[in-house]
Structure 1
Amino acid sequence: MITRQFVDRQKLQEFHPFTRLRTLLEDIPAGRSCLEDGQVINLSIGEPQTQPPAFVAEEIEKAAKGWSKYPLSKGTPDYLAACAHWLGQRYKLPENFINPTKHILAVPGTREGLFMTALTVLSSPKKNSEAPVFLTPNPCYHVYTGAAAAAAAEVVTVNATKESGYLPDYTTVPEEILERTELCVLCSPSNPEGAVAEPQRIKDLISLARKHDFVVVFDECYAEIYTDTAPQSALEIAREMEAESDAAKNNAQHDPLANILVFHSLSKRSSAAGLRCGFIAGDEKWISMINTTCQVGGAGVPIPVQAAGTRLWQDEEHVNINRALYQQNFNLAQKILSPSLSVEIPAGGFCLWLNVGNGIEVTKKLWKDAGIRVMPGAFMSHANDDGVTPGDRYIRLALVYDPSFMKKAFISIRNILDEKQDVGING
């Protein structure tokens, strides 16, 4: 199912999930949590609570002279090279498939990069006189919709439900909408569900984008947090399509990354959300144009931060440790919560997407009874004309604390869900 709407730029706060959550709970006293100090337990935000490696502080200190300099918006040569090398190693890309000076742009995390990308793409010359269309999953990360609103685009949401594998099927979008589409987003592993896009889905979307000439943002910021199999990247699929393309073989000017922008960040991978360091890789033309937008209205990633980021992209040990920690948390969730409700361990990411029957009512009850803050799925979703969203039955839990902490939280959640006090749990 698709939903079409314009989001009022003056009312962005009305769909901002954390603003809505604060409003929902502000008049409800928090219950005493299971922690010894009684502090509330915040599982609503995907903010890793483990610390990044100690060498982050060391690299920032070594590059401290850079604080007095305006950073280049594009990124330092060392940082861009580290990103390109990591992509090549992680996705087994041929040498020089990613040119760090042409195909990569340093950005302060994915959020700012996504916003600047939407402003750039949706503000470019349109295909016709109508407003540009921005395709997004439903549910989705709120920045997607916010960026579309800022650019005065028409938002077309495509439901990501259990039936669709918790990912949007953009091949179902009518031709007349695709012809007006300028930008589209696919998040894999997805937020909030943790679904991983299979290669054919990625290939079909790239083909669709090239047929209708729109840009696809592949938000891969959770790519290094997975359960069993490492998710594939759009870059891998683009490389395969390049090898199969007769047009590419006969055209030296052909860009194998045409219409593709891939986003990565150190926030989730390296537990460095406060570092604000990531990158965009992809279509040379759009990388250049987004860089221009950033030069005008953005700020480059500080030089000392890029120094730390360079080291982080070169280190895999801390990533493996983080991945194992999240796996422990998922195992605990399944063991503790399964007797009370169905627990689907996602293929990627660190969030649980739990069907509790009535996400908003369960959110209020968890807060009132145990001081546990979760995110209602409805607050990450867009409603259809009947006011129904694909997230109504769900809550999202970010499993961002250490296993001993999460174990206490899961037990409290299970005990409350077991009470089934007329809150529509699994109803």
Structure 2
Amino acid sequence: MGFHEFSSPYDWSRIAAYKRTAKAAFGGMIDLSVGSPVDPVPDSVRKALAVAANDPNAYGYPVTAGTADLRAAIAEWFSVTRNVDLQAIHADVVPTVGSKEGVALMASLLHFGENDVVVQPKVSYPTYEIGTQLAGAQVLKVDDVADVASWRNVPGVKAVWVNSPCNPTGEVYSAEQMAGIVAAAREIGAVVLSDECYALMQWRDAVNGAEGDADSLASTPCALRDDVCLGSAEGVLVLYSLSKQSNMAGYRTAFIAGDESLIASMSAYRKQIGQIIPGPVQAAMAAGLRDLESVKVQHARYRERLGVLVGALRAYGYCTDMPEGALYVWVRAKSGDCWTDMEQLAKIGIIASPGEFYGAPEYLRFSATASDGAIASAAERLAR
């Protein structure tokens, strides 16, 4: 039948009027809405892209499943940063054209349909719901997917979306919570879809008031870690993206890793519909995964920006703290309605994301992906 219809409040054109107001404000507009990176792509990535520009994987058709070097780089990345041995748990990988494509096509590639139910958090990235709708399956929104009693006995549940660190709330699940989700999903034959795109952007030291090491990288618990999946990737798929860790949003570099039988089936379909990362970009992706020093630099940038933004939002009157993870500050609207707050913020030139986009119209999301100068200028305006 093809793609089914979808409906969503997630439409950036809805904030166009607020942007016009913000642009007319003294000093112009500061956009803290879309989480689009603004910092340089690492030198290692740009060099790898250039070197690979005339490789066989460039002038010939690229490999859907990823070059041997890219697949090795993904395995190395999991081992070094996530404490996961893909081979030991019988996991496979497939690159995707950005993580959004991977999310949006997931339910369709898993062959979900009319009587199938996909569980997701009520407050979450909108594409989970859109992807389920495109497949013609049913969406079940719950307050907390870690509360497995809220979905385990619901007829027809075929998959559960997990997002830790969460966009937009910044919440991070513990290994125990992740393990509980995996165990409950396996009991009913459902697949765990773990969106871990912000896994290396966690701020627990800052949340707990500790200084932490700005040069260190600490991962949040992975659904494929031994203590979570009990040594088997069966029924577990993890998504990751280089958009934020390496400022590669425009490169469209992401991947799915997990259950080898599910990956094999999805890869076969992906090959037929041409969902393939260009060859030179695969080389750039491998370089980005291996260049952890650049990731540490970016991690420090975001930690500093988030700290400044949190302090500024407090000065403006929002009740907020440093998020546990991800790159956003999630606040309850002072007026109780995101659109009313959006209007007031636009008058001082600041644009946030309306919480309605993520299922919570009484909240707003502020992104720390703006430049240091933009964050500093926003802080000045918010403190007046």
Fold conserved between structures, TM > 0.5: yes
Counting only pairs closer than 5 Å after superposition, residues 146-165 of structure 1 correspond to structure 2 as: 146-159=130-143
Cα distance in structure 2, aligned partners of 1:200 and 1:314: 29
| Structure 1 gap segments, 5+ residues each | 1-7, 160-166, 243-255, 382-390, 416-427
1:176 deviates by: 4.3
Paired position in structure 2 for 1:10: 5
Q: If the length of structure 1 is used for normalisation, what is the TM-score? A: 0.80
CA radius of gyration, larger in:
1
1:83 paired to 2:77: no
- Structure 2 CA distance, aligned partners of 1:379 and 1:93? 33
- Tell me what 1:253 maps to: none
Q: How far off is 1:115 after superposition? A: 2.1
Q: Residue 363 of structure 1 corresponds to which residue in structure 2?
A: 342
Which stretch of the first structure deviates more once superposed, 228-237 or 258-267? 228-237
For 1:90 and 1:301, locate their aligned partners in 2 and report how far apart those are by CA, in whole Å: 23
Instruction: Give the one of 203, 212, 217 matched to 2:179.
Output: 203
Instruction: Return 192-201 or 56-65, whichever deviates more.
Output: 56-65
Q: How does 1:32-71 map to 2 (within 5 A)?
A: 32-33=24-25, 35=27, 38=28, 40-65=29-54, 66-71=57-62
Task: After TM superposition, give the deviation of residue 301 of structure 1 in Å.
Answer: 0.6
Measured in 2, the distance between the counterparts of 1:297 and 1:74 equals 13
CA contact (8 A) 1:93 1:239 kept: no
C-alpha distance in 2, partners of 1:29/1:85?
Answer: 48
Residue identity opposite 1:92 in structure 2? N
- Aligned: 1:140 with 2:124: yes
How far did 1:117 drift? 1.9
Q: Is the 8 A contact 1:82 1:314 kept in 2?
A: yes
How big is the shift at 1:94?
4.5
Taking the aligned partners of 1:33 and 1:336, their CA distance within structure 2 comes to 19
Q: 2:165 aligns with which of 189, 195, 198?
A: 189
The CA deviation string for residues 355-413 of structure 1, in whole angstroms up to 9 with x for no partner, is 1232111112222x1332211111211xxxxxxxxx12210011112333202112323
Q: Does 1:372 align with 2:358?
A: no
1:240 Cα deviation after fit: 6.3
Cα shift at 1:77: 0.8
Q: Measure the CA separation in 1 of the matches of 2:74 and 2:60.
A: 22
Alpha-carbon offset, residue 286 of structure 1: 0.6
Deviations 1:189-246 (A, max 9, x none): 000011111111101100011000011111000011111353111111456623xxxx
| Partner Cα separation in structure 2 for residue 147 and residue 257 of structure 1 | 23
The one-letter amino acid of 2:15's match is L
User: Does the CA contact (< 8 Å) of 1:238 and 1:257 recur in 2?
Assistant: no
Partners of 1:375 and 1:221 lie apart in 2 by 19
Q: So what's the TM-score if we normalise by structure 2?
A: 0.88
CA distance, structure 2, for counterparts of residue 373 and residue 60 of structure 1? 34
Cross-structure match for 2:83: 92
Distance of 1:174 and 1:326 partners within structure 2: 35
* Aligned: 1:111 with 2:100: yes
Query: Does structure 2 retain, via aligned residues, the 8 Å contact 1:122–1:153?
Result: no
Aligned to 1:212: 188
Q: 1:257 pairs with 227, 233, 237, which one? A: 233
- Give the CA deviation at 1:58: 1.5
1:144 maps to a residue whose letter is Y
1:10 deviation in Å?
3.5
SS in 1 for 2:66: coil
**Alignment RMSD (CA, Å):** 2.2
- The 1:400–1:34 alpha-carbon spacing in structure 2 relative to 1, beyond 3 Å, is farther
4+ aligned runs moved over 3 Å, structure 1: 8-12, 19-22, 28-35, 93-96, 167-170, 237-240
**CA shift for structure 1 position 149:** 0.7
Alignment match of 2:373 (pick from 382, 388, 404): 404
The range that moved more, 273-282 or 336-345, is 336-345
| 1:96 Cα deviation after fit | 3.2
* From 359, 362, 365, the counterpart of 1:393: 362
SS of 1:144's partner is helix
Q: 1:350 pairs with 318, 321, 327, which one?
A: 327
Deviation at 1:170, TM superposition (A): 4.0
The residue type equivalent to 2:356 in the other structure is: A
Count, aligned residues: 364
In structure 2, C-alpha distance between the alignment counterparts of 1:226 and 1:148, rounded to whole Å: 28
Contact conserved, 2:182 with 2:192, CA < 8 A, in 1? Answer: yes
User: How many percent identity over aligned positions?
Assistant: 26
Cα deviation, residue 113, structure 1 = 1.3
Supply the distance in 2 between the matched residues of 1:51 and 1:80 (Cα, whole angstroms).
Answer: 25
Q: Tell me how far apart the structure 2 counterparts of residues 16 and 186 of structure 1 sit (CA, whole Å).
A: 19
State the partner residue of 1:30: 22
- Counterpart CA distance in 2 for 1:68 and 1:298 is 16
Is the 8 Å Cα contact of residues 199 and 237 (structure 1) preserved in structure 2? no
- In the other structure, the counterpart of 1:419 is none
Q: Which amino acid aligns with 1:373?
A: I
Counterpart code for 2:58: W
1:131 deviation in Å?
1.3
Q: Quick check: 1:50–1:402 contact (8 Å CA) kept in 2?
A: yes
